[in-house]
Amino acid sequence: GFKCGIVGLPNVGKSTIFNAITSAGAESANYPFCTIEPNVGVVSVPDPRLDVLADIVQPQRVLPTTIEFVDIAGLVRGASQGEGLGNQFLGHIRQVDAIANIVRCFDDDNVVHVDGSVDPMRDIEVIQTELNLADLDTVEKRLFRIQKQAKSGDKDMLAQQEVLLRVREVLDAGKPARSAGLSYEDQRLISDLHLITAKPVLYVANVAEDDLEGEHPHVARVREYAAEEGAEVVAICGKIESEIAELEGDEKQEFLQELGLGSSGLDRMIQAGYQLLGLITYFTAGVQEVRAWTVHKGDRAPQAAGVIHTDFEKGFIRAEVIAYDDFVACRGESGAKEKGLLRLEGKDYVVQDGDVMHFRFNV
Ligand code: GDP
């Protein structure tokens, strides 16, 4: 599955937000390191198109697609040098596809800040520095390891060395590896390093209960900073999210309306995470079930089939595809077929967001 790691300094509201995400309701305590093992929560990706499809097809069940959030504890000043849960932390964060960086924007005298005061920009800088140092270390080690082969003219190693030197320059300047402007091929040459600062980042500003409306200066600064980086920002209130997470259906909608919110912060965070990962959704729509599936932007039909079952990919023959809008306008498959809007696509077909697909395959 696709994984988004949640990181942040201690006491910024990570556990509160993570618990709201999973509705696990586990204890969140007012001291550092209260979450030791990485917790994984699988959440549904809200998608109103599923209801529209279900209304047409009337299936027995409807299944949304999912994304994994991993609560990664242990990010403190000095983590790259082994402080706190340093090594464990770095190991876990290398495994995720994207990073949700929680920054504290709520003032609360009852909740200690590790650095004594609330200052999201300083927090972001601490985090950046730690992740940067960790990557720098990784890059230096690899450069050292391949230097002999590169010197003796090994073509692959020379190419890798060239990319690493460019990345090192960016890291040395205090910037994330993702800002090095590496081509797809360059990225592949060093993908086994799992550089942390090469991963896409979402800033989650955890604001106070009464700061959800309007924009607190803390949040405005985070937005400004993120814009420069090309990163996304979502402002949510961890405390309210954990209350929302306890509610269901109509109760939830009423509470959101009272707060003047269209959707919960978590839903916005999930959707932003989904976009951040470069993910799109295709659907299968049968009488048994209407279901959403996740693929990467650019994935081809066999890979999309492989998400359902590896045999579907191996034995792929072709896909029957109806664009979402056509499916809805024609009120289903037979209507779309009559209008000639059901397409037969081969193995080179690039899946489009919202495609309603049916696969033909050999067993
Ligand atoms: P973590 O160390 O980053 O996982 O932080 P926690 O989620 O354990 O939160 C630390 C403390 O801050 C707890 O006492 C939470 O109740 C409190 N907290 C979390 N989010 C909010 C919020 O949005 N507003 C306020 N006032 N307190 C919060």
Give the CATH class of 3-276: alpha beta
CATH hierarchy code of domain 298-361: 3.10.20.30
pLDDT of residue 85: 67
Three-state DSSP at 7 gives: strand
Which of 12, 27, 28, 127 best tests ligand 1's pocket when mutated (most atoms within 8 Å of CB)?
Answer: 28
User: Taking the model in full, what pTM does it have?
Assistant: 0.80
- Which structure tokens are listed for 351? 């899946």
Averaged pLDDT, 320-326? 98
In testing the pocket of ligand 1, which one of 69, 108, 204 has its CB within 8 Å of the most ligand atoms?
Answer: 108
Closest CA to 279 of 268, 300, 295, 298: 295
pLDDT: is 213 or 7 the higher one?
7
CA 246/CA 261 separation, integer angstroms: 17
Nearest CA to ligand 1 atom 18: 13
Mean pLDDT is lowest, of 30-39, 70-79, 90-99, for 30-39
Is the per-residue pLDDT at 114 higher than 80?
A: no
Per-residue exposure over 198-233, b if at least 16 CB sit within 10 Å of its own CB, e if not: bbbbbbbbbbbeebbeeebebbebbbebbeeeebbb
| Closest Cα to atom 9 of ligand 1 | 13
Write down the pLDDT at residue 191: 92
Nearest residue to 322 (alpha-carbon basis) of 290, 285, 268: 285
ipTM of the complex: 0.94
Domain boundaries along the sequence of the chain: 3-276, 298-361
329 CA distance to ligand 1 middle (Å): 47
Task: Establish whether residue 240 lines the binding site of ligand 1, counting it when its CB lies within 6 angstroms of any ligand atom.
Answer: no
| pLDDT of the residue at 23 | 65
Which residue's alpha carbon is at the smallest distance from atom 27 of ligand 1? 239
113 CA to centre of ligand 1 in angstroms: 10
Which residues, including other chains, have CB under 8 Å from residue 104's CB and lie 6 or more apart? Answer: 8, 9, 11, 12, 13, 113, 118, 120, 123, 206
Of 240, 14, 235, the closest CA to residue 114 belongs to 14
Q: Sheet harboring 66-71: ordered strands across?
A: 39-44, 66-71, 3-7, 98-104, 201-206, 232-236
What does the block give as tokens for 43? 């959440």
Asked, colleague to colleague, whether 3-276 and 298-361 share their fold, the answer is: no
| Residue range 180-203: mean pLDDT, rounded | 92
C-alpha distance from residue 261 to each of 48, 251, 264, 291 (Å):
17, 14, 7, 27
